[in-house]
Amino acid sequence: MSVKKHLKHVKGKKKGGITLYALSTCGWCKKTKGLLNDLQADYHYVDVDLLADDEQAEAVAEITKWNPECSFPTLVIDNSRCIVGFKEQEIRGLLKDAE
């Protein structure tokens, strides 16, 4: 999948298998990135608004699988579930036991 090559890796101590789909212009997405950084999470992210049309369509199709509204931020965890929106407590909970 060509969106994969646009995923940026943020290295951190705590691996939660997190992929963050974000918008470069969005305040809640920025807060989500900030929280993940504060929690020293290891994650990948992509700013979907900055992708070229075909890659953006591909990303939207992928996000829609997890979050039919395709809203941002969408966090996909371990390719098995997702958190939609800046849900601080849920995100903190996700990384509490991660190593």
Partner 1 sequence: MPNREISEAQVDAEYQRLKAEAESGGYHLNPDVAFTKDLIRGLLANEARYGHGACPCRLASGIKDDDLDIICPCDYRDPDLSEYGSCYCALYVSGAILRGEKAAQAIPERRPPESERRGMKAGRSPRHFTTRETSLAYPVWRCKVCGYLCAREEPPEQCPICKAKKERFERFM
Closer to partner 1 at the Cβ: 17 or 71?
71
Sole binder of partner 1 in the list 20, 29, 41, 75 (CB under 8 A): 29
B/e letters for 57-86, b = 16+ CB within 10 Å, e = fewer, are ebbeebbeebbeebebbbbbbeeeebbbbb
Binders of partner 1 among residues 42 to 81 (CB under 8 A) are 47-50, 56, 60, 68-72
Token pair 């941002």 is found at 72
87 forms part of the interface with partner 1 (CB under 8 A): yes
CA 82 from centre of chain: 9
Interface residues with partner 1 (CB under 8 A) are 23-31, 47-50, 56, 60, 68-72, 85-87
